[in-house]
Amino acid sequence: GAGVSQSPSNKVTEKGKDVELRCDPISGHTALYWYRQSLGQGLEFLIYFQGNSAPDKSGLPSDRFSAERTGGSVSTLTIQRTQQEDSAVYLCASSFWDNEQFFGPGTRLTVL
């Protein structure tokens, strides 16, 4: 079956612009996670959804970051007024309840 997909795969934007990243989880997976990974570094947790609700938003770096999930499926991560330090790979993962997570290929964001 289809895995987790993310779009776009690459995004180059100018400082100050808003960007929207999309994640399509595996069908039937209840949980969805967003992570950020800077070059050569580990995974930084951003936010986690169980269904459409986000019980844990503690990882969002600032109020410029927001995420939503609709219909218990697709999620979008929005970054407003992007800064150069936002440049990273943004990874999405989904799981069935608290079982192992399946990751998408990521969106590489470059803020000029």
Partner 1 sequence: GESVGLHLPTLSVQEGDNSIINCAYSNSASDYFIWYKQESGKGPQFIIDIRSNMDKRQGQRVTVLLNKTVKHLSLQIAATQPGDSAVYFCAEQTSYDKVIFGPGTSLSVIP
Q: Classify the phi-psi angles of 16: left when phi > 0, otherwise alpha if psi is within -120 to 50, otherwise beta.
A: left
Q: Is 85 within 8 Å of 110 (Cβ atoms)? A: no
Stretch that binds partner 1, among 11-19, 21-29, 37-45, 68-76 (CB under 8 A): 37-45
Q: Is 1 within 8 Å of 94 (Cβ atoms)? A: no
42 binding partner 1? (CB under 8 A)? yes
14 binding partner 1? (CB under 8 A)? no
105 binding partner 1? (CB under 8 A)? yes
1 binding partner 1? (CB under 8 A)? no
